[in-house]
Structure 1
């Protein structure tokens, strides 16, 4: 009887919990709709009143003064960069050191010649990940060579190596400290949370202010952007070491250092290596974005091609970046998992490594002897021309339809929403944001929401921030709707799930910069391609989280609903979706934050708004405007993140 009673109780609890959760969701949606109705009503009331002065946008005076002050700070830094002790003995040394490190690594890769680099990459990939990954690495080097982008690829690789080294140099010790000290972990966690919700573009301006334009700033900003995963995952790995192993080591009289080096790090090694993999992948994505601040390499090749709307050249550079990202992911992922490493007996490992090193040295020597250097550009294959021909053909076939879709979306959805947000009284928008924070996440988030919007106004970029917010809302709505539908279908069909998983894995490996290329190819330059790129970029994690959430619903609850005659639609809407609320909220949260990061980056293809302010600030030395826009992006990210995290799930 006990075996029957326990599942019944669990089902009852689950049903009650899902009922309360569903009620909360319906109530919150109704209240949010009411807020939107009030905002629309306020907009039209002020229009009918002739747009009185008290009902306009945020006053620009405070923002103008703030940006002028920032410009003065920047002018002081430029004038005193070689005189101030802070720069003379600190930041300038770091800048020179990092610039020299990138140059030295680049020179080392040049010294190896293309043949030596290829031999080194092949042997390393085979040794740590097996022959299949080694073939992938070979294909990656072939793409570098045949696209004529070998030199740019080596520059990007040198920047990645430098930034990852910096990130690991600081991240691993911080992660170890966070894993061993609860107090330090609690203090560090909100900082890591904040860093991970900041869009990549928001990182650029502060480091340009300190390090100027060029490789040093690119290396630092890439390292900082890639730092949180290795810190967080290292801390998690240390904290998850079995307590029994720690107690046994302590009882034997081990010192804290011995416990760390002999027990915790060895047992946490695999998880820590997965953190290193994540850091490397973030570095790959950020070093491409850092081309905006003079990083050079493959990112600059894409940036220049997109600026000229040369889809063929952008495709060439994008293909090289995609191959680099996939190859680095497979190699470092295999190190973390340790499942595809060739099974070589212990006694043969050292001789084999020595033989591999000898081969690399021999290949390099032959390459130097014949003066190979980088792969000759005249031996490359022109991919840009046929891609541009195909692009023109696609435009001739569907260009009219995509243009009509873009125009309709812009005129009937995006522009009206932007007009509503920027044309409503600023104080009403702040109240609406505060109300949404209270509805979805409580009093604290309501206060955060109000402060975030007030800060945006005081920064002097209110209209552009509302433009960015409107783009994020539109793209997020489509992303979440598609993600939920595809995630539900994926959870229902194992064959579809098996097909989609590798596709989603590959999509999440790609740097975000790359998604702009097909968007521009289909929709040209403007806000719509930025929305399309944001949609494609944010879709995979939403699909994955919805699928995982529905598959994680207790079997007993599903069986109970089916036994009571529920239809598939009732099962989905009354049981599975309410009980998967945690995963759904996380999917919404991740989708919106990723959309924000991509929409801001869409300034590179004419999306305007806050991202354009950052680009203009960098290009025209208007650091006040750029920093104000960057801070506004952070405030929007903070608001969207906190609101979409929601309240804690109700306890049964």
Structure 2
């Protein structure tokens, strides 16, 4: 449809649409004086909001911080913490008499604890030769001989490091939690895939669960189920179930509509459509969800050592608390290999291309033959008196590792210490002082302003309310200190990740080199990243920030690389044909067209940094993470729960601001 060009003398109010389709005067843009278009730039507006924050801080300091320019009043928070402590006291006094626990949570606790013990006893009954044989055989049958060798090497590490029993405890807890997550998650995913209404209802719940940092799950589970495996199993299940639901729903919804219509036209019932068409066609994607569920369970089981889960996570936690890098490396290597082995086996099951080919009769008989062989191996081992791995056969590498770590510290300790001091004194402490020393109401207003700038008024309301809630919970200063750590680590992560992602997108060789490295890094449980950070920087906020940066880099690099590579080849060719240089091609074509992926990278990087910064409390990072751990250890429910809720509020604030920008991209 043709559009009339505005007459030169026409006033702005009556001018027609511009060639670009924008109606002058619709949003005031056309009436903006020449040379002021930069004021509409969101980043300029964000910088202005930060400048207002700095001005408020300076004013508060200049006026001697009067009450109305001071920190958040703690009356509401103290009242809430006292009430929550009262709830904890009531629960402790009534856990064995209240119907809520007698006929509810206690049954769940006993059932989960019994399930974990049952799986663990089954592994003990198999004996270590039986477990090794069954695990290696299953890995070969599903994923081929290379993965079978990896599984065998994993069992060898469990045994030789003297961590066999801890590894079996962790494996039993993972097995129990994953089975519960799949039994509940896959049916919910199927329902969400077949019902638009249920999908709309469950989506915000899944979003909320995936925003919550892992540490925030611990205190509620400890309150309801006490210390031990039941609380750890529930926390792991809740943390791991979202991908099972989300990916199953996606798989069902992506089944070819033509196949469903053809089956329906033949008179198939809904159950027949599900079992004969949708589930078989969605099998590969659903197995990807199973893989993601298992990997999240591995991550959470390690973190759940804080509430008495035991196993390999407890071995890492105890080693880090004593700054025993050697023991931490041994336990870390065991959990890393377990995570990689589980990832490779379940990934191969979903792929289906690495399964060894067997003749049809052997293929049908393989499960029964394998079970019989594993039973025979276990029975033979028990007959000769073999059960668990003999401690005398274990080899400890902690001594040499500690010696090497001390050598590294003596060689570069001064340099890393100087860097840490520079980071603390020059960046982190000033930013923390800015956020904690600025009037609280101004911080809330700036948070809302950032939400409005990047996502609109709904995002502004959510962002402002989330930041305000951290003060109402009584942990304002620690929340702001945690936020300062997140912002510093996120800035480093995004600077490095975007740069490396751009280089990878422009170099196939670098992308090929990085791919297996990033795969391995994303397989590692987050807890493990603290070990090398402590080895280099000892304890404190600096190792927590270093671990956060390394932990969050892989998704940022991947998303930037994929986004730039996904830019239309026609757009790139057109720019090159116009004589664009490599820099112009990147800044004028590729980065703008990859904007959605870049903003998703920002969101994912910041959220992963938050989860890791909070976990850094285990190595002395302090703030909200420390309050959670302290509350868990000292039975101070009020402090631990309010700190956990504050972590969630920071997650909501950071997620909504970054997602709001992405949704407007």
Normalised by the size of structure 2, how large is the TM-score?
0.94
SS for the counterpart of 2:469 is helix
Cα offset for 1:344? 1.3
Match of 1:569 in 2: 583
Match of 1:7 in 2: none
Between 111-120 and 377-386, the greater mean CA deviation after superposition: 377-386
Pick aligned residue for 2:104 from 90, 100, 113: 90
SS for the counterpart of 1:83 is coil
Match of 1:283 in 2: 297
Q: Does 1:378 align with 2:392?
A: yes
Structure 1 runs not aligned, ≥5 long: 1-11, 14-19
Between 549-558 and 211-220, the greater mean CA deviation after superposition: 549-558
1:251-650 to structure 2, matched below 5 A, reads 251-647=265-661
SS for the counterpart of 1:341 is coil
Q: Is the 8 A contact 2:163 2:312 kept in 1?
A: yes
Q: Is the 8 A contact 1:585 1:646 kept in 2?
A: no
Match of 2:129 in 1: 115
Inter-partner Cα distance in structure 2 for 1:303 and 1:72: 30
Pick aligned residue for 1:136 from 132, 144, 150: 150
User: How many residues are paired up?
Assistant: 632
| Per-residue Cα deviation, 1:304-351 (whole angstroms, up to 9, x for no partner) | 000000000000000000000000000000001111011112221133
Cα offset for 1:126? 0.7
Inter-partner Cα distance in structure 2 for 1:520 and 1:635: 28
Match of 2:201 in 1: 187
Cα offset for 1:648? 5.5
1:7-26 to structure 2, matched below 5 A, reads none
Aligned in 2, Cα 1:613/1:365: closer, same or farther, shift over 3 Å? same
1:36-51 to structure 2, matched below 5 A, reads 36-51=50-65
| Per-residue Cα deviation, 1:196-245 (whole angstroms, up to 9, x for no partner) | 11100001111111001100000010000000001000000111111111
| Per-residue Cα deviation, 1:575-610 (whole angstroms, up to 9, x for no partner) | 111111100000000000000000000000000000
Q: Does 1:127 align with 2:130?
A: no
Match of 2:256 in 1: 242
CA RMSD of aligned residues (A): 1.4
Cα offset for 1:447? 0.2
Match of 2:177 in 1: 163
Match of 2:189 in 1: 175
Q: Is the 8 A contact 1:430 1:450 kept in 2?
A: yes
Q: Is the 8 A contact 2:39 2:45 kept in 1?
A: no
Cα offset for 1:142? 0.3
Cα offset for 1:26? 8.4
Cα offset for 1:25? 12
Match of 1:8 in 2: none
| Per-residue Cα deviation, 1:366-398 (whole angstroms, up to 9, x for no partner) | 111122111112111111011101100000100
Cα offset for 1:496? 0.5
Structure number with the bigger relative contact order (C-alpha 8 A, sep ≥ 6) is 1
Aligned in 2, Cα 1:159/1:649: closer, same or farther, shift over 3 Å? closer
Inter-partner Cα distance in structure 2 for 1:154 and 1:71: 36
Q: Is the 8 A contact 2:312 2:335 kept in 1?
A: yes
Between 642-651 and 447-456, the greater mean CA deviation after superposition: 642-651
Q: Is the 8 A contact 2:459 2:660 kept in 1?
A: no
